[in-house]
Amino acid sequence: MNTLQTREIDDFKQHFHGTIVTPNDPDYDEVRQIWNAMIDRKPAIIARCTGANDVMAAVKFARQHKLLVSVRGGGHNIAGNAICDDAMMIDLSLLKDVNVDAQTRRALVSPGCTLEDVDKATQAHGLATPVGINSTTGIAGLTLGGGFGWLSRKFGMTIDNLLSADVVTADGRLLHASDTENADLFWGLRGGGGNFGIVTQFEFQLHPLGPEVLSGLIAFPFEQAKSVITQFARFTETAPAELSVWMVARKAPPLPFLPEEVHGKEIIVLALCYAGDPADGEKLIAPLRSFATAYGEHIGVQPFCAWQQAFDPLLTPGARNYWKSHNFEHLSEGVIDAAIEYAASLPSAQCEIFIASLGCETAKAAADTMAYSSRDANYVMNVHGRWDDAADDQACITWAREFFAKTKPFASGGAYVNFLTQDESERTESAYGSNYMKLKQLKKKYDPDNFFKINQNITPD
């Protein structure tokens, strides 16, 4: 940086309560790391905020000096939107407060929280809000893109449980958004990603849950995949809202309940969680065991927080990741056959295909109720390419893209923006469907210069 830039940064530090990190600082490389190791970008400056005032100051500094801006919450976004070369990263990861009001069943959550932070605080009161399934995911990005997980069939999307948000807009103002205040902005925040501002506080509706739930895994031989996935598809069409069952096709990790000779072999896994009386859940899940002859299972009553962390060992930071995703209204035979074909040729031991079952409460809102419009997505499939060596990039990415292309004819359209990679900007419009033009108009109102563009970008109308 030249002398003028150095002086400008020194002046900024005098008005900023958090920490400023630049490439000359010893912790720069550590601070700029995000979850997906395929993303290696070098921002010009990182502003580690301690509150809304810092966020406003950072936005104003970036505007003054015409800096590109990226926003980091948990740093978990697959496209790496938390970071950009030669830009300012507004880092919210130090903002970790969760304040629960058990009487009103509401929680105020800071944008640097992970799902683990939220679950731990709410479950201390026997309450929860529907979030994702990996505890290291950031609550901010998850929510702004829609958010779904084990509780969504019963309680809806994460955005269905968002009551309000405090937002720093592109002009540096702090606004409160809810159904009654800046309602148009609130509409856009619920699914519109980071296009309209930086949320400095979320308010969520909570629901009684647990704190112990019936949950776990059943692992089946891959040779019985057609039987298992077909029956999974039919079963989940009529399962009660309290029961979520997801399908995972991958190579078996060394799970203690699986015979050692199965480790490393392709398997089909049914993962389940019952948001109700475990005794009732046991009766409801009994048919799953008859889908085929299982290798083994690990199902029981355990703390919901523990179940929320069950997949963390398979999703640790530092690996290379590339995803492709489709929404489906129904799982047709074409989708099932394609899943079996590509699960039989996984290019790495960490690659997997998962299909989440939604519907029920997630389908009740009209498509135009909020920015997220894919209410017909009864199933969301994520083709999860994951590997360690850059030499495997081409093989793993090609595998994911080919499977995505083969299943596209069966998809219902739309997209889950949190699963879109950095090379899928052309899918942004289709992700929002009939809501897209309204989102463009909203962008023109709140961010006419497209200040917030490092995201699945909606350009001003």
Give me the DSSP letters along 151-191: THHHH--TGGGEEEEEEE-TTS-EEEEESSSSHHHHHHHTT
CATH level 3 topology of 212-419: Vanillyl-alcohol Oxidase; Chain A, domain 3 (3.40.462)
| Cα–Cα dist 363/88, whole Å | 38
| pLDDT tens per residue, range 274-293 | 999 999 999 999 999 999 99
For position 13, what pLDDT does the model report?
87
- Tell me the residue type at 117: D
Copy the structure tokens of residue 179: 């159904």
At the second CATH level, the architecture of 3-91 is: 2-Layer Sandwich (3.30)
Residue 198's nearest CA partner among 270, 275, 144 is 144
Rounded to the nearest 10 degrees, the angle between the axes of helix 393-407 and helix 333-343 is 170
For position 173, what pLDDT does the model report?
97
Q: Where in the chain is the domain with CATH 3.40.462.20?
A: 212-419
For position 8, what pLDDT does the model report?
86
CA-to-CA dists, residue 217 to 222, 256, 273, 296, 414, angstroms = 15, 12, 9, 9, 30
| Cα–Cα dist 383/123, whole Å | 31
| Residue pair 160/365 in contact by the 8 Å Cβ criterion | yes
Longest dimension (CA), the chain: 71
| pLDDT tens per residue, range 359-372 | 999 999 999 999 99
Q: Which residues pair with 320 in a beta bridge?
A: 387
Q: Which residue bears the tokens 């010009």?
A: 44
Q: Where in the chain is the domain with CATH 3.30.465.10?
A: 98-209
SS3 helix, strand, coil % of the chain, rounded to 5?
Answer: 35, 25, 40
Residues of the chain with pLDDT under 70: 1-4
Copy the structure tokens of residue 291: 């889908």
For position 57, what pLDDT does the model report?
96
Question: Taking the CA of residue 189 as centre, how many other CA atoms within 13 Å lie in the half-sphere pointing to its CB?
Answer: 32
For position 86, what pLDDT does the model report?
94
Copy the structure tokens of residue 143: 């929510």
For position 164, what pLDDT does the model report?
98
CATH level 3 topology of 98-209: 3.30.465
For position 432, what pLDDT does the model report?
96
Copy the structure tokens of residue 315: 């999703």
For position 4, what pLDDT does the model report?
39
Q: Where in the chain is the domain with CATH 3.30.43.10?
A: 3-91
For position 461, what pLDDT does the model report?
76
| 71 three-class SS | strand
| Cα–Cα dist 106/87, whole Å | 36
Give 40's contacts (C-beta < 8 A, 6+ positions apart): none
For position 15, what pLDDT does the model report?
84
Residue 434's nearest CA partner among 344, 362, 372 is 372
pTM of this prediction? 0.95
Q: Where are the alpha helices (DSSP H) in 252-291?
A: 278-285
- Tell me the residue type at 220: F
